[in-house]
Amino acid sequence: MTDKTTKEINQISVSDTPTEISSSEDSRETPAVHKRRKRYSGKYPRKFEDKYKEHQPEKYKDDIEKIISKGKTPAGMHIPIMVAEILDVLKIQPGETGMDATLGYGGHSEKMLEKLEGRGHLYATDVDPIESVKTEKRLRDKGYGEDIFTIKHTNFRNVDTVADYGEKFDFVLADLGVSSMQIDNPSRGFSYKTEGPLDLRLNPESGKSAAERLRELDYDAMVNIFVENSDEPYAEKIAKEIVRAYHKGAKIETTGELREIINKALSFLPEKERPEAQKKSCMRVFQALRIEVNSEFEVLYDFLSKVPECMNSGGRIAVLTFHSGEDRLVKQFFKEMKRSGIYSEISRDVIRPGREECFINPRAHSTKLRWAIKA
């Protein structure tokens, strides 16, 4: 072959190839375009949406373990509290029927399912339409099918409608805390620490947001809610500042706006005391609004009233509380029902998480566990 011929062959373009070849190539599937992960400033991501490793704990196990070992909860994840103590109280046996009243991330449910060893049934309830879908997929992928595990998207106050065919429970767990993935997600508005809409609803598809509810309250109602729901010592000053802000045309629709008003209300405090007091008041006011928006005391009252009728004789119930109002209600119910002969035994004292657990999971600090046994 001459040099000239070789040169001509090498210069043939794609458009010079036969039509049959071009059409064949056109019929092939176009490969998916690779999208680069969004870049963030600094060594570690600070924004909730940028923490891609923490949102995929199964894929990045080593990274997740490092975060937990430092006493932090990975974003979008929830570490179940007092698992060993709960299992010790509930004494779950294979073949029994139980209920996890607050599914959340599914950590407690998974441990209870392990105790059933493939026999019996666990029912779980949750009103959060966002997180419950993720949790169901996570647990289904681990092999827990409908034959042993049923999730119902209803409030646990409806405990008497949860079990099928009139079944009764041998064990019941109610973890009354808000899940970490709800707290950490700024779009849910649960935390005063991050900017987001002032929402605070466990089910953002139902009811009024905290911003809407706050606008409906007058001064006296605000004070009452802040005191009754969270024992806020500066309730009157904070309520007065909120009312003043509304009179000036403020809308208070974000977590940051409410935080600034609370901080302003406490500006009279000595400079050394002020930061810590503002932090604690923010926590209490947000808690009080969350309880109000989700009718948490009413829900707990209904649940505690109904649950004994839904349990078998000898059935065990464990309740985790996270603030004094919840704990008082559970304590009163258990005492009264023991006096009435409904419960044969109740916990004399609260059970608290150990020091090691509180270090690994700081959100466990305020937890109290109470239990009772059906007569």
Confidence band, pLDDT 50/70/90 cuts, at residue 341 = very high
Give the residue among 334, 360, 368 at the shortest CA–CA distance from 180: 360
Joined together, the tokens standing for residue 236 give: 């009157």
- The ranges of the chain annotated as CATH 1.10.150 are 203-293
Q: What is the pLDDT of residue 141?
A: 95
Q: Please state, rounded to an integer, the average pLDDT across all residues of the chain.
A: 86
Amino acid letter at 151? I
Query: pLDDT of 63-94, one tens digit each?
Result: 555 555 555 555 556 689 999 999 999 999 99
Question: Given a cut of 50, is residue 290 above it in pLDDT?
Answer: yes
Model confidence, pTM: 0.79
Region of 274 please: left (phi>0), alpha (psi -120 to 50) or beta: alpha
Residue 48 has pLDDT above 60, yes or no: no
One of 1.10.10, 3.40.190, 1.10.3210, 1.10.150 is the CATH number of 203-293, namely 1.10.150
What pLDDT sits at residue 19?
Answer: 41
Superfamily of domain 83-180+297-374: Vaccinia Virus protein VP39 (3.40.50.150)
Sequential DSSP letters for 44-90: S--SGGG-TTTT-TTT-HHHHHHHHHTT-PPTT--PPSSHHHHHHHH
Q: What is the pLDDT at residue 15?
A: 40
Percent of the chain with pLDDT over 70: 79
Q: Do 334 and 346 form a contact (C-beta atoms < 8 A)?
A: yes
Q: Tell me the residue type at 191.
A: S
Among 54-63, 136-145, 153-162, 348-357, the range scoring the smallest mean pLDDT is 54-63
